[in-house]
Copies of this chain bind each other. A is one copy, B any other.
Amino acid sequence: MEKISTSNNVCEIIKKRKTMRSYIKKEIPKEDLQEILSVTESCPTALNKQGYQIYVVKNQETKDKLCLAAQSQKQVSEADVVLVFFADLERGYQRNSDKKSFFYSVQDATIATSYCQIAAHALGIGCCWVGAFKENEVIKVCKTKKNLRPISMLTLGYTDPEYQKKIEAKGKKRKDPKRMFKFL
């Protein structure tokens, strides 16, 4: 397998990602949103069952309701697009031995969110992973069926360059790698 020419660039770009919680009023072009979704669905899932579903929310009223469901985190209202990732308990892989359909569907939805986030970032779109929300309220707002359980949201939007610089200048706070990795 040959090293892909821009490979280090890919790693460098990913490492520069920071959570962006404030957005300006500027629409994400359709083709960029399409590309983000296309990268997302290229992600692996357990037994390739694609045990997730994504609601792509542009409607302002719906975003405002999702904002309320998410402890009024304002980035949910401000974002141009909010993506809601659901674990699909019917579609996801079920291991007969242990009935772990939820376990694998949660992972599928989480993998999709991760791929999606990196794609948005690479396209210069700011984004914030929202994990704290009232599940039942999100289900109500999105009018989903029983097989879908909300796992995460991503808020997408362009950021003010000054805000972005300020956030990036702060760097990332991470634990000592010795606490994260063990070598055997």
Q: Which residues of A contact B (CB under 8 A)?
A: 1-4, 6-11, 13-15, 17, 19-20, 35-39, 41-44, 46, 48, 50, 52-59, 62, 93, 95, 103-104, 106-107, 110-111, 113-115, 117-119, 121-126, 129, 131-132, 142, 151-152, 158-159, 161, 164, 172-175, 177, 179-184
Output the least CB separation between A149 and chain B (Å).
11
For A56, list chain B residues within 8 Å (CB).
181-184
Choice from B13, B19, B93, B129 contacting A10 with Cβ under 8 Å: B13
Choice from B55, B124, B151 contacting A7 with Cβ under 8 Å: B124
For A118, list chain B residues within 8 Å (CB).
10, 14, 115, 118
For the residues of A in contact with B, the DSSP-based class is mixed
Q: Kindly report how many copies of this chain are found in the complex they form together.
A: 2
For A95, list chain B residues within 8 Å (CB).
132
Across the interface, do B35 and A8 meet the contact criterion of CB distance under 8 Å?
yes
Which B residue sits closest to A142, measured CB to CB? B184
Most chain B beta-carbon neighbours within 10 Å: one of A14, A20, A104: A14
Across the interface, do B173 and A59 meet the contact criterion of CB distance under 8 Å?
no
Say yes or no: A44-B111 contact (C-beta < 8 A), given A10-B10, A13-B4, A180-B52.
no
Output the least CB separation between A77 and chain B (Å).
14
Across the interface, do A184 and B14 meet the contact criterion of CB distance under 8 Å?
no
Across the interface, do B164 and A7 meet the contact criterion of CB distance under 8 Å?
no
Across the interface, do A184 and B55 meet the contact criterion of CB distance under 8 Å?
yes
Across the interface, do B8 and A182 meet the contact criterion of CB distance under 8 Å?
no
Choice from B10, B14, B158, B172 contacting A1 with Cβ under 8 Å: B158
Query: What CA separation (Å) do A153 and B125 show in the bound complex?
Result: 30
For A17, list chain B residues within 8 Å (CB).
42
